[in-house]
A and B are shown apart, each in its own frame.
Chain A
Amino acid sequence: MPYNIAMVSDFFFPQSARYLVAPPALLLIASQKLIDRGHKVIVITHAYKGRTGVRYLTNGLKIYHVPFFVIYRETTFPTVFSFFPIFRNIVIREEIDIVHGHASLSSFCGEAILHARTMGLRTVFTDHSLFGFADAASILTNKLLKFTLSDVDHAICVSHTCKENTVLRASLDPLMVSVIPNAVVAENFCPLSHTTRASDQGLSSPADAPMSPRPIGPDDPITIVVISRLFYNKGTDLLIASIPRILASNPNTRFIIAGSGPKAIDLEQMLERNVLQDKVELLGSVRHEEVRDVMVRGDIYLHPSLTEAFGTVIVEAASCGLYVVCTRVGGIPEVLPQHMTTFAKPEEDDIVLATSKAIAALRSNKVRTDRFHDQVKMMYSWRDVAARTERVYEGIIGDISPEEFYGYYPGQGWEASGDRVRSFALIDRLKRYYGCGVWAGKLFCLCVVIDFLIYVFLEMWFPRANIDIARSWPKKPPASKTQTTRSVR
C-alpha cells in the first residue's frame, strides 16, 4: 500500500559548486524512485539563500524549505523544540505516516524524529557516515546519535561496516538496522563507447553492441583520475606522497585531479617542487554533472581515502569503465567485486605498488573494463534501493509481520529482545531514553517530557481540525502498470 513519507534532512539541495554527492543528490533520486512506486514523498529541509517556501520538483516532489538559522556548512542550529509547531503543521497537512531522517550530523533530522515519535508516527533513520569512538567530538556526536536513535523504528546504513558502527554507537538491536547501499544512475555514468547506445536504448542493433575499445598496448598512455575533496580524511597526503613515485616508476602515465579543499596548496607545492605540471592536470572543483566527463578521460580511478562509509564515487568510476585502485578502509571492500579493483593498504608504498600493478594489468589487457558498466548497472540501481527501502517501510508500519521482517532464526540467540516494534506509550519511550546514560538519560527524558507537553499544548491551541489537508499531486499508476500499458499500446 502506498505510504506518505516525509524525508527530513539538513542537506538537501546540492551546495553550489562543491562536489558533494552524499546525501542531497541521493535523497532526491531515492525520493523520485519512491514516488515512482506509488508513494507520496515530501522533503522537509531548511531554507537556503534564495530558496524558501514550498517548491515542487519533478513528479510532484514537494519540498518544504523551513526558515531556520544556519550555523555551519548548511547545518542548522540545534534548538530542540522550536521546529515542532511547523513540523506538526506540515505532518498533519500532508497526512504523513513515516518520517525518514537522513545524515547523523543533521540536528534537523534528530529533532524531526523526536517530534514524529511524540506525534505517534513511525520513523526511519539513514546513516551515511562513520565515526570513531576516541575523541571528544565523536563522544558528543555519538550521544546525540543515541538520543536520535533510542526511539527510532528502524535504521538504514549504507554498508555493513557502517551498520556495525551505528549499532555500536547507538546500542541498537542489529536486526533493527538494514543495510541498503547507495546506487548510481548508471545512465549518467557510462563510458565513452556507450554514449550512442544510452541515447536510444530500444533501438540497439547487434552492430551497436559494445565494441570493446581499442586495447591498451604496453606503451600506451594511461591516465589516472582522482576526484575527491582535498581533505585529510580523503587521503590527500597519501596522494601527494605517491604521485611522484607513481609517475617516476611508470612512464607514459598522467594524472587528472579534480576537487578542491585545504590540501590543494600542498598538492600544488608538490607539483612545483617535482616539476610535474605537464603530467598532472588540476581541474579544481567539478560540478556533479561534469564528473562523468572527467572520469571517462581516464583509465584508472585512484581513491586513497582514509575513511569511507560506502564510496559512491568508486561505483561511479567503475560504471564509467575505470579500473579502481582504492584503500582498504571502512566499507570500501564490500562495494566492488575483485575483478574491478585493486586494494591497497593506506600506506604510501602500498598505494604506489597497487597503482603500478593496476597499470601493468591494464597494459597487458587482463582487465575487461568495457564490461564494467553493464555489470555495475546490474549491481546497483535506484529501483532496487527503492524496493528495499519500501520493505523497511512495510516492516515498521506492520504490513509485514514482525516475525517475517525481523526474521525468526531459532537457536540464533538474540530473538529475546522483544522491543523491536516500538510502542508509542510515553512510559515506554521514557524507559528507552533513560538507558542512554547516567546524566544523558535523565536529560533526554526531560526533553521527551517537554516535547510531549508541547504537543498537548499544540493540540489544544491549534487543533487538528483547523489545519487544512493538502491535496496530493495526481498520482501516476504504479510503475509496473505503466510499463505494461505502454507495451500493450
Chain B
Amino acid sequence: MTSPPSLDPFPPPIPVDTHPNRAPGSKSPELERSLPDPNRLAPEDAYFAPSLSRGRSAPSNYEENLRSMNGESSAHIGSAALRKKLGGAGRRRKRKSAWKKLLWVKQSYPDNYTDTETFLDHLQRNPRVRPYDFWPLVADSTVIVQHVCSVVIFVCCFVGIVQDRVSPVSIVCWGSVGTAVGWILWDNWIWKEHEESVQSANGITGSDDGSSSTSFASAVDTPANDTQSDYTKTNAIHGLGLSMNGNESKEQFAHRSADFSESIDTVTHLTGQNGVPSAPGSSIIGTTDPFISQDTHRVSTLSPRNRQRLTTVKSAFLIYFALLGLSPILKSLTKSTASDSIWAMSCWLLIMNIFSFDYGSGEGAGATTKFPASLSTNAAVMASTVLASRLPSTTHVFSLMLFSMEVFGLFPIFRRQLRQKSWTGHVLLTLILVIVAGGAVGVTLSGGWAAAIIGSVLGGILTAFVMGGCSWWLISLQKYKNVVIGPWDPARPIIRRHWN
C-alpha cells in the first residue's frame, strides 16, 4: 500500500475555487474571520430556518420583510443578530490548519465537522423576487376580468337563446357588427404601425439580410401553393379554420412586437430587392398560411394592403359557409346525450378555457406559456359546439357557433392589440364588458331593465372588490415566498446552437 519512492509527495492542497466569496489569497484569513458576513447563513440557520424566514410572529412591516427576502441588497438581519449573540465576533478557536471544503484531503477534523464560514455560503434566498405593487397589479388583472366577462356574456346569450328571450339572429348580427368594427380598427392600427416601421426602416441602410432572406426563402418554398381545393377541404373542419385564422394574426403580432428589428430587416430587404412595396404580412405569414403566399405571387396588381384585406374577407367567408354547412350536423351531434351531461361538460370546458387562456401580452419570454393558446380556444369551441347541439333549429346553431367564434377566436386578438395601442381604450373596454356582463346576468336571472341595471351595478362593485382583494391577497402572500437556490440545483445548460 505504500506509494513507490519515485512518487512525489502530494502537492500542497490548493483549495479549488469553490467559494467565489473568498478568492484565494485576496484576503487574509484573520480579517475574514473577524468580519462575519451577514449575507452568509450560519449553520444554525439551516435548522432554525422555518422559524426565521417565515416570521410566524406577525412581521411588523411588509416592506422590511421584502427587503430581507431579497437577501443580497440588505443584511440577513435575523441570522446576523443570532450569530452576534451566540458567537461573540464569530471567531473560531484556532486550529492547526483551516478546514477545507474538499473531499480528497485528509483533514484533522471529524466527519461531522461543520464549518461556520463555508457552510451554506452558496445558498441564495429569493434571488429573483421582485415585489409587486398594488395598482399595477390591479391594472394587470383587467385582462383576466375582460376574458371572464366575455365568457359570462357568451353564456348569458346562450341562456337567452335557449329560453327564447333573445333571437339568435339579433345576437349574431350585433356580434358581427362588433367584429367588423373591431377588425377595421385593428386593420388601421396594423397599417399605421407598418408604415411607421417602413419609414424608420428607410432611414436605416439595410446591410445584413441573412435572416430575412431565409424567411423569404421559406415563404417561397411553401409546398401547398397550388392545392387550394385540398386546403379548402381541410379548412372545412370548423375548428381548424378558426385556429388558422387566430394563429396567423397571433404570429403577426409576435413578429410585430417582439422581433421588431427583424421585421424591419425583412422589409428593407424586400423593398430593396423587388422594387415593389411588399406587405410585411406576406413575407412573415407566408410560412404558415399558404393562402397569402399564393396571393403574393399571383395577384400582385392589388396593393398589399388590399390584398391582405381580401385574404381576410376570403377566410371570413370560408368560415361562414363552412359553419353554415356544418350546422345541421352539429344540431344532432349530441342527441343521444342527456342535457345534464352537456351542462356539466360545457361548464368544465369553459372553466378550462378561462384557466388556460393566454393572458400574456405575447411579448418576450412570457410568450412561451405552459399551455398552448390553442388549448384554450379549442376548449371554448368544443363547449360552444356541445351547447349549440341543444338548440332547436339550424339557424340557432349557426348563430351560436358564429358568435362563439367571434367571442373566443377573434375578440381576444382585438383585446390584446387594443391593450398595446391605447390604455384608455383598454380600461374603457373593461368597464363596458363588466357592465354588460353584469347586466346580462341580471337579465338572465330575473329579466327586465331594472334587473339589468341592478346587475351591472352589483357586478361592477363585485368586480372591483374582487380585483382589489385578490391583488392585496397576492401581495400579502409574498412574504411566504421562500425560494432556496444553491449548488445542488441542476444547472441550466447554456447551448448556443440546436442540432435539430
B91: A residues at CB distance < 8 A: 411
Of B5-13, B231-239, B388-396, which stretch is located at the interface? B5-13
Interchain nearest-CB distance for A431 vs B (Å): 15
| Candidate in B18, B92, B114 with the most chain A CB atoms within 10 angstroms | B114
Closest residue of chain B to A415, judged by CB? B86
Q: What's the minimum C-beta distance from A322 to chain B, rounded to whole angstroms?
A: 16
Give the CA-CA distance A22 to B121 in the complex, in Å.
27
Contacts known (A269-B500, A409-B92); A165 close to B111, Cβ less than 8 A? no
- The stretch that binds B, out of A55-63, A78-86, A109-117, A333-341, is A333-341
One of A174-182, A285-293, A353-361, A460-468 contacting the partner: A174-182
Question: Quick one: which of A392-420 are within 8 Å of B by CB?
Answer: 392, 405-407, 409-414, 416-417
A102: interface (CB < 8 Å): no
A371 located at the interface, meaning its Cβ lies under 8 Å from any Cβ of chain B in the complex: yes
Q: Quick one: closest B residue to A158, CB to CB? A: B103
Q: Does A15 contact B (CB under 8 A)?
A: no
Tell me if B493 and A348 are in contact (CB < 8 A): yes
Interface residue? B42 (CB, 8 A): yes
CB-CB under 8 A for A407 and B110, given A171-B49, A241-B499, A334-B16: yes
A172 touches B483 (CB 8 A): no
Q: Is B47 an interface residue (CB 8 A)?
A: yes
**With a CB–CB cut-off of 8 A, which chain B residues contact A329?**
487, 490-491
- Is A307 on the interface with B (CB-CB < 8 A)? yes
Q: Quick check: B112 and A175 within 8 Å, CB to CB?
A: yes
In-complex Cβ contact of A175 among B114, B495, B497 (8 A): B114
Report the interface size for chain A: residues with CB under 8 A from the other chain: 81
- Closest A residue to B82 by beta carbon equals A413
B93 touches A414 (CB 8 A): no
Residues of A within 8 A of B489 (CB): 130, 132, 134, 307
Given A241-B499, A269-B499, check contact A406 B112 (CB 8 Å).
yes
B120, CB-defined interface residue at 8 Å = yes
The winner among A164, A237, A337 for most chain B CB atoms within 10 A is A164
Query: Does B370 touch A at the CB level, under 8 Å?
Result: no
| Residue in A closest to B47 when the chains form the complex, CB atoms | A171
Minimal Cβ-Cβ distance residue in B for A238: B493
Q: Chain B contacts of A379 at CB under 8 A?
A: 104
Instruction: Among B46, B102, B494, point to the contact of A346 (Cβ < 8 A).
Output: B494
- Quick one: which of B6, B18, B500 contacts A334, CB cutoff 8 A? B18
Question: Does any Cβ of A come within 8 Å of B187's Cβ?
Answer: no
- Please state if A409 and B47 are interface contacts (CB–CB under 8 Å): no
Bound complex: CA A113 to CA B1 (Å): 37
Contact A414-B16, Cβ < 8 Å, known A165-B488, A168-B49: no
Chain B residues within an 8 Å CB radius of A348: 493-497
Report A211-254 CB contacts with B as 1/0, cut-off 8 Å: 00000000000000000000001010110110010000000000
Binding site of B, secondary structure by majority: helix, strand, loop or mixed? Answer: loop
Bitwise interface map of B from 59 to 73 toward A, beta carbon under 8 Å scored 1, else 0? 000000000000000
**Residue B83, interface by CB 8 Å:** yes
Q: With a CB–CB cut-off of 8 A, which chain A residues contact B13?
A: 337
Bound-state CA distance A307–B488 (Å) is 7
Beta-carbon contact of B492 and A346 below 8 Å = yes
Given contacts A177-B112, A374-B3, A406-B112, contact A347 B8 (CB under 8 A): no
- Give the residue name and chain of the A residue nearest to B85 (CB): A413
- Could you tell me if B120 and A164 are in contact, using CB atoms closer than 8 angstroms? yes
Determine whether the beta carbon of A241 is less than 8 Å from that of B496: yes
- Asked if A161 is at the interface (CB within 8 A of a chain B CB), the reply is yes
- Of the four ranges (under 10, 10 to 19, 20 to 34, 35 or more), the interface on chain B belongs to 35 or more
For residues 464 through 484 of chain B, which have their beta carbon under 8 Å from a beta carbon of chain A? Answer: 483-484
Say yes or no for B88: interface residue by CB 8 A criterion. Answer: yes
The answer to whether B499 and A270 have CB atoms under 8 Å apart is yes
Which of B83, B494, B500 has most chain A Cβ within 10 Å?
A: B494
CB of B375, distance to nearest CB on chain A (Å): 20
Contacting residues, chain A, for B110 (C-beta < 8 A) = 178, 391, 405, 407
A409 to chain B, nearest CB (A): 6
Decide if B101 touches A334 in the complex (CB within 8 Å): yes
The residues of A that contact B492 with a CB separation of less than 8 Å are: 306, 346
Question: When chains A and B are docked, how far (Å) is the Cα of A345 from the Cα of B93?
Answer: 36
Closest to B88 in A: A411
Query: Can you name the residue of chain B whose Cβ is closest to the Cβ of A413?
Result: B86
Q: Are A209 and B4 in contact (CB under 8 A)?
A: yes
Complex contact A307–B491 (CB within 8 A) = yes
What is the bound-complex CA distance between A388 and B106, given in angstroms? 12
With a cutoff of 8 Å between Cβ atoms, the chain B residues found around residue A371 in the complex are 7-8
Q: Please tell me if the beta carbons of A273 and B499 are within 8 angstroms of each other in the complex.
A: yes
Interface residues of B in 112-150 (CB under 8 A from A): 112-114, 116, 118-120, 122-123
> B114 to chain A: which residues have CB within 8 Å?
174-175, 414
> Which B residues between 4 and 45 are near A, CB-CB below 8 angstroms?
4, 6-8, 10-11, 13-14, 16-18, 42-44
Nearest-CB distance from B349 to chain A (Å)? 25
Question: How far apart sit A178 and B110, CA to CA, in the bound complex (Å)?
Answer: 8
Among candidates A161, A175, A336, residue contacting B104 with C-beta atoms closer than 8 Å: A336
Contact across chains for B14 and A338 when beta carbons are under 8 A apart: yes
Given A164-B120, A174-B47, A378-B3, A306-B491 contact (CB < 8 Å)? yes
Give the distance to chain A from B487, nearest Cβ to Cβ, in Å. Answer: 5
Given A171-B50, A380-B104, does the pair A161, B488 have CB atoms closer than 8 Å? yes
**CB distance A392 to B111 under 8 Å?**
yes
Q: Does B486 contact A (CB under 8 A)?
A: yes
CB neighbours (8 Å) of B42 from chain A are: 413-414
In the assembled complex, B210 has its CB within 8 A of some CB on chain A: no
Chain A nearest CB, measured from B107 CB (Å): 10
Closest to B91 in A: A411
CA distance A178 to B47 in the complex (A): 16
Interface: A364 (CB within 8 A): no
> Is A455 close to B, CB under 8 A?
no
Which residues of A sit under 8 angstroms from B223, Cβ to Cβ? none
- Determine the chain A residues whose CB is within 8 A of the CB of B116 once the complex forms: 412-413
Write the A413-429 contact mask toward B (1 if CB under 8 angstroms, else 0): 11011000000000000
Q: Which chain A positions have C-beta within 8 A of B50?
A: 171
The answer, among A179, A306, A407, for a CB contact under 8 Å with B103, is: A179
Residues of B within 8 A of A410 (CB): 93
CA distance A467 to B358 in the complex (A): 65
The residues of B that contact A210 with a CB separation of less than 8 Å are 4, 6
A411 and B16 contact, CB distance less than 8 A: no
The proximity string for A residues 39-66 relative to B, scoring 1 for CB distances below 8 Å and 0 otherwise, is 0000000000000000000000000000
Cβ–Cβ < 8 Å partners of A307 in chain B: 488-491
A413 and B112 contacting across the interface, CB-CB below 8 Å:
no
Instruction: Give Cα A134–Cα B250 distance, bound, in whole angstroms.
Output: 32
Selected from B7, B88, B111, B483, the residue in CB contact (under 8 A) with A391 is B111
Q: Which residues of A contact B (CB under 8 A)?
A: 130-134, 154, 159-162, 164-165, 167-168, 171-181, 204, 209-210, 233, 235, 237-238, 240-241, 244, 266, 269-270, 273, 306-307, 310, 327, 329-331, 333-339, 341, 343, 345-349, 371, 374-375, 377-380, 388, 391-392, 405-407, 409-414, 416-417
- CB-defined A-B contacts under 8 Å, sample of 11: A173-B47, A204-B4, A235-B493, A327-B491, A329-B490, A337-B13, A349-B494, A378-B10, A380-B104, A411-B91, A413-B116
Would you list the 3 A-B pairs with minimal beta carbon distance, nearest first? A413-B86, A178-B111, A346-B491
Residues of B within 8 A of A (CB): 3-4, 6-8, 10-11, 13-14, 16-18, 42-44, 46-47, 49-50, 82-83, 86-88, 91-93, 101-104, 110-114, 116, 118-120, 122-123, 483-484, 486-500
Given contacts A266-B500, A306-B491, 5 further A-B contacts (CB under 8 A): A132-B489, A167-B120, A180-B111, A371-B7, A417-B47
